[in-house]
Structure 1
Amino acid sequence: MTTPGLAGFIASGEDSQTCDVVVAEVLEALGQGFELLPERGAPRGGRRRTWFDTFDWRLYRAGLTLEYAAAHRGGELRLTGASPYGDAVQLVTGWKASRPHQLRDLPDGPIATSVSGVVAPRALLPEVTVTGTTAAYRLLNEDGKTVARLLVEYPAVAAGDVRPLPPRLTITEVRGYLTQARRAARIIAGIPGVWPVTQPLLADALHAIGRYPGDYSNKVAANITGRMPAAEAAATILLRLLDIVEANVPGVLRDIDIEFLHDLRVSVRRSRSALKLFGDALTAPLAAPGTALTGRKLARFAAEFKWVGDLTTPTRDLDVHLLDFEDTVRTLRAAKPDDLEPFRAYLKQRRVREFRLLARGLRSPRFVTLTRDWRERLTAIRDSANAGTAATVRSGQSRRAVVETTGTLAADRTRLAFAKVAKRGAAITPASPHDSLHDLRKRCKELRYALEFFAPLYPADSYGAVLADLKRLQDCLGEFQDTEVQIGEIRALATSMLAADEAPAVTLLAMGEVTAWLAARQQGAREDFERRFAEFAGVDGQRRMAELLRGGAA
C-alpha cells in the first residue's frame, strides 16, 4: 500500500540509459541512509497491462479507468475512479486484450454494474498496452528492521515495437514507520532527474504513441473566433465535421458498435446543415484565385453528402429497432415476449443485407473521392482566407471592410434560423397536419447545429440556457416524429414478413400492440408540444436568444 501523502516519482532522461543512471543514483542515495536489500524474488517480470475505454472515452469522462492485467491463466479486470462501488477487481477468463469487447463480455459483478450505464451501447476498445518489469527493495534501519519498500517499475509501450517509458519509483510504508518512509521519499525527491508523478501511467503510454485521453469527441468544437473571416471559420467548422466522419469509418466497417454509424451520420447531417446555413461564405473571393467554391460545385458536394446520408439510413433505422427491442418487449400486455422473436430475427437478417450495402458504399471510389476532394477544397479555402486576412492587416486596411467576420455571420445566420423556428412553430395548431411538426423539427435541428457551430463565440451562461430550452423542444418533436416513423416501419416490415411467409399470426398481433403503444406515445408528445414551444420561443425565450446573439456578435 502506498504511503498516505507520498507520491510516486519518475526517473526522467533523454533515453533509457540516462534513466538507468538516474535510478542507480537513487539506489546509491538510499543506500547511504538505509541498508538496501533486493526483495526476495525481485525483479518481477512479464507484467502486461491493457487499458480499455470506448471510442469516445466515456469511462475517462466519467472519472473511471478500466485496466486488464494478464496472468498465466486468465487475468483480472481492475476498475478505479469515481464508481459508486469504489475500486473493484474481478478475475476473468478468455478475455482477449487485443480486441474489442461488448458489455456482455464483462462478468457479472461490481465492474459490469458500474460501467454499463456509462458505456452502453458502445464497445470497450483496447487503448494501449504496457509491459514491464518491477524491481523491489527493502529499506532497513540500524536495527535491521524493514521500515519501507521501494518499487522500481520499468514500463514500455507495446505498440508493434516496444517503446520504453521512464522508470517509475514508489515508496511504500511499513506499518509503524511512516517517518522513515517520508525520509526515503525526501531522499528520492532530491536526486537530479527525478520528478514527482503528475499523471497516470495510462497518459504517459498514450503520449508515447501520439495520443491522449479524450482525443476523440463527436462535438463540433471548432477553433474559431469572432474576428476570423467568415470563409475561414466556415471551412474550419466543415473540416472538423469531416474529421469526425473519417474517424468513424473504420469502426463502421468493422461493425464494432452502432455508435460509430450514429456519429458518422450526425456529422454528415451537420455538414449538410452547415452548407445550407453558411455555404455561401465558401464562395466569397479569397486571396488565392480559384480557391473559392462556385455555386455549382457547392451544390455537387451537398448532393454527395445527401447520398451518404441516404446510404446510412436503412442500417441506422434497423439499429434503433434492435437497440430498443427489449424496451419494446416490456411494453407488451396482451402478447408474450416470445411472440416478437420472429420479428427480431427478421430485423437481424434485414440488417445483414443493409449493412452489406452500406459497407460497399463506404468503400466505393465515390465516397473516397468525396472525402478527399472535400478536404482539399476546404483546406485551400481556410488557408487562403487566413492568408488574405494577414495581407490585409499588413497593408493597413480594415478587415471589416474587406471580409465578413465570423461574429457577424454567426449572429445573422443564427437569428434567421431562430426566426424560422418561431414563425413555423407559432403557426402550428392542434388541427395542423403531422408534416408541420416534422418540418419544424428539421428547422430546430438547423438552429441547434448553428448554435453548436458557433458555440465558442457565445457567453457560456446564455448559451446553456438557450440550448436547454431548445433541447426540450427537440425531445418533444423527436418523440412525435420517431414514433410516427417507427409505426410506419413496423407496418412496412409486417408487410414484408407476410410476403416472405415469415410472419406467424401471434407475431403480427404483437407488432400491432407495439404500434398502438407507439401511437399513444406520439399523442402524448403532440399534447406536450404547445408548452415546450412556448418555453423556447415565447417572450422570455426571445429575450434569451437576443442576449445570446448580441454576445456572439460582440
Structure 2
Amino acid sequence: MADVSDPLSLEWGGRPARGAPGPMLAALEPAAHRYRFQQGARRRSSVTYLDTVDRRLRKKGLSLRYESDSDSEVLVASAPDGIDTTELGEAPVWPALAEQLPAGSVADRVGPAMWVRAVAPVVETEVVSREITARNEDDKIVARLHWQEATANGSPTLARVSLDPLRGYAADAERIARLLADSGEFVVPERSLAEVWLRHAADDEVERRPTITAGMRADVAVATALLGFLDAIERNVAGTIDDVDTEFLHDLRVAVRRSRSVLKLTGDALPERLVARGARELKWLGDATTPTRDLDVYLLELDELATRLTVGTRADLDDFATHLHWERTVARRSLVRALQSKRFERWCESWRQSLTEIVSSGGSEQSGSVEELARDRVRVAYKRVLKRANAITPDCPGERVHSLRKRAKELRYLLEMFAPVCDRKPHRAVVKNLKRVQDILGAVQDGEVQSASLRVFAERMLDRRSASAATLLAMGELSAGFAGEQRQARDELTDALPGFLGSSVHKRVTAMLP
C-alpha cells in the first residue's frame, strides 16, 4: 500500500464498485485516451490492523497489519521510512508479544515499540481488489494499478487506487495519477488506510469515555470519575486473567488506586453507605492484585538487575528466576479466583448501577459544583503534601518518606481528575513538578522495599532448598546495592523538595484552580 505522501496513491470518491469491471473502467475514463486499461481477476482478502491496547505503535508512527487471502498470509509493518514484510507459514495467534511474532524484519521493526505489551486486532477489514494494467500506445505495460475497496464494522467503504510504475515509466504513472486527480473523482488522501481505521477506533474509545465537564454538580463529577476508573478496571480484567501481558494487571491496579484515592478525598460528595462499600471492595481488590504485580516487576527487571552485579553473573540469578516464576504461578491462581468470583462480578454491577444513577439524576444542589470541590480538595491535599515534605530530612525515619509518597500520589490523582476544570498551563507545570518529586520518592521507596524483599525471597528459597550458594551471594550483592541507592535517593529528595515547596509552585497551584 502506497504511503499517503506518495502522489501515486489516490482515493476514489465514487460509489463502491466491489470489483465490478464496469464502474472501475468508467472511473479510469479520464486517462483512457492515453492509456488502455486491462483488468485482472477480482480478489477478496482480509486485513487486520493490530496494536497494543495502549496504542504504542500508533503513537510511534507505526502500523502493523496481517493480510490474508486464499494464496498467502503476510505480516506488514509500515513506518514513515519504509515498509517491512514477513511471510507467514501458518495463521498467527493473537494476542502476541514481540518475542512471539515470526522472526524477521517486521518483528525487528515493531518489537522495541511494543515493549512488554502484546499486539491484538483493533480493526478487521474485508478488502475487494483488482489489479489493472495500464498500456501505452505501443501496447507496453507502463504501470499496474491496485484498486482496493475496504470495509470494516459497517463503516463506509474506502476505495484506494495505488499506481506502481514499471522501471523507466515513472512519468507515465505520474501522468495517469494527474489525469485522474484532475477529473475530480480522485483525490490524494490525507491518511493511510491504517491511520483511517485506527483513528476511527480511537474516536470510538474517546466517545465512550466518561468525562468531567465545567458546571457539573460535585457528586456527578465524582461519580463520573469513578465510572471512568471502573471502565479501566473492567477493560483490563480479561487481559489479566488470560495473562496476555503484565501491563493489563498494572493498569487494573492503577485504576483501583485512583478509585480508592478519589473515594478517600472526595467521597463525602456521595452517599455514605455507597462509599463505605466501595472502599471495602476496592481494598480487597487491591490486596488481591498486589502479590502478582510485585512478582511481575521483579521478573521484568531481572535482566537489568543482572547488570548491577559486579561479582556475580546473570546465570547466578537463574535459581532466583525459577523461584519467582513458581511464586507467580501460585499468586496468579489466587488473583484469577478473585477476578472470576461472584463477589467481584456483583460489586462491579452494583457499583456501576449506583454511580450511573447519580450521574443520570443530574446531581444534588447541596453537593455544590465541581469547581468548588476542586478548589477545596486540591488545596487541602497540597497542604498535606507540604506539611509532610517540610518534615523530611536526610536522617528522618523511612515512614515519613513513605507517608509523603502516599500524599503526593493522592494529590496527583486529584490533579488528573480535576484537569478538565483547571487552567491548563499552570496545571501542566504543577503536574510536571510533582512528577519529579514522585520519581525520587519512588526511588527511595523502591530501594528500601527491594532490599528487604530480596532478603525475604532468600529465606523462602532456603526453606524450599531451591537456592545455590552463588544465587544467594548474588542476591545479597543486589540487596546491598539497593540500600546504597536508597541513601543516594534520600539525598536527591532533600535537594529537590525546596523546588516543590517554593513560592512559584504555590502561585501555580492557586492560578490553575477554577
TM-score, with length taken from structure 1: 0.83
Deviation per CA, 1:478-516, whole angstroms, max 9, x where unpaired?
111122222222211211111111122221111111101
Give 2:27's aligned residue: 26
1:123 to 107, 118, 121: 118
TM-fit CA distance, 1:329: 1.0
Q: 1:317: Cα distance to partner?
A: 0.3
Deviation string, structure 1 residues 285-317 (Cα, Å, up to 9, x no partner) = xxxxxxxx2x23311111100000000000000
Q: Report deviation, 1:417.
A: 0.5
- Tell me whether 1:361 sits opposite 2:338 in the alignment: yes
Cα displacement (A) at 1:422: 0.3
2:378 and 2:52 mapped to 1: Cα distance?
Answer: 33
Instruction: Determine whether 1:152 maps to 2:147.
Output: yes
Alignment match of 2:234 (pick from 235, 238, 246): 246
Aligned counterpart, 1:420 = 384
* Unpaired segments ≥5 residues, structure 1: 283-292, 389-398
> Which aligned runs of 4 or more in structure 1 are off by greater than 6 angstroms?
15-21, 71-74
* Alpha-carbon spacing, 1:437–1:215, altered in 2? closer, same or farther (3 Å): farther
CA-to-aligned-CA distance 1:205-242 (integer Å, 9 cap, x gap): 568xxx6147669xx98522232111111111111111
Q: Aligned partners of 1:200, 1:189: CA distance in 2, in Å?
A: 20
Q: 1:48: Cα distance to partner?
A: 3.8
C-alpha displacement at 1:97, in angstroms? 3.5
Aligned residue pair count: 508
Q: List per-residue Cα deviations over 1:262-302 (Å, max 9, x = no partner).
A: 000000000000001111112xxxxxxxxxx2x23311111
What is the 5 A alignment of 1:175-194?
Answer: 175-177=170-172, 180-186=175-181, 189-190=184-185
**Structure 2 CA distance for partners of 1:163 and 1:19, relative to 1, 3 Å:** farther
> Sequence identity of aligned pairs in percent?
36
Is 1:548 matched up with 2:512? Answer: yes
CA shift digits 1:45-72 (9 cap, x unpaired): 2544332211111111121112233478
2:257 corresponds in structure 1 to 269
**Does structure 2 conserve the Cα–Cα contact (< 8 Å) formed by 1:480 and 1:522?**
yes
- Which residue type is aligned with residue 516 of structure 1? A
Q: Residues of 1 paired with 2:459 and 2:11: CA distance?
A: 67
| Corresponding residue to 1:101 among 90, 96, 101 | 96
Provide the rounded CA distance (Å) in 2 between the counterparts of 1:384 and 1:19. 54
Q: What's 2:396 paired with?
A: 432
1:491 counterpart residue number = 455
TM-fit CA distance, 1:92:
4.5
Mapped to 2, the partners of 1:300 and 1:473 lie a distance apart of 33
- SS state at 1:55 partner: coil
Determine whether 1:319 maps to 2:311.
no
Q: Which of the residues 487, 490, 495 maps onto 1:523?
A: 487
What does the per-residue CA deviation read over 1:55-90, in whole Å, with 9 as the maximum and x for residues that have no partner? 1111111211122334788754332224xxx22414
Q: 1:319 & 1:188 partners in 2: Cα distance? A: 59
Shift of residue 188, structure 1, vs aligned partner: 5.1
- Decide whether aligned partners of structure 1 residues 504 and 137 sit closer, same or farther in structure 2, where only a CA change above 3 A counts: closer
CA contact (8 A) 1:479 1:525 kept: yes
Q: Does 1:78 align with 2:76?
A: yes
Q: Which residue of 2 aligns with 1:391?
A: none
Q: Provide structure 2 residue ranges, at least 5 long, that are not aligned to the other structure.
A: none
Residue aligning to 1:212: 201
Secondary structure of 2:498's counterpart equals helix
State the Cα distance separating 1:324 from its structure 2 match.
Answer: 0.3
Equivalent residues in 2 for 1:100-499 (5 A)?
100-106=95-101, 111-142=106-137, 144=139, 146=141, 149-157=144-152, 165-173=157-165, 174-177=169-172, 180-186=175-181, 189-190=184-185, 197-202=189-194, 212-213=201-202, 222-282=210-270, 293=271, 295-385=272-362, 403-499=367-463
Match of 2:201, SS state, is coil
- Report the residue type matching 1:381 in the other structure: I
Q: Which residue of 2 aligns with 1:8?
A: 10
Deviation string, structure 1 residues 121-178 (Cα, Å, up to 9, x no partner): 1112132333434212234455545555433223355x8xx99934433445542325
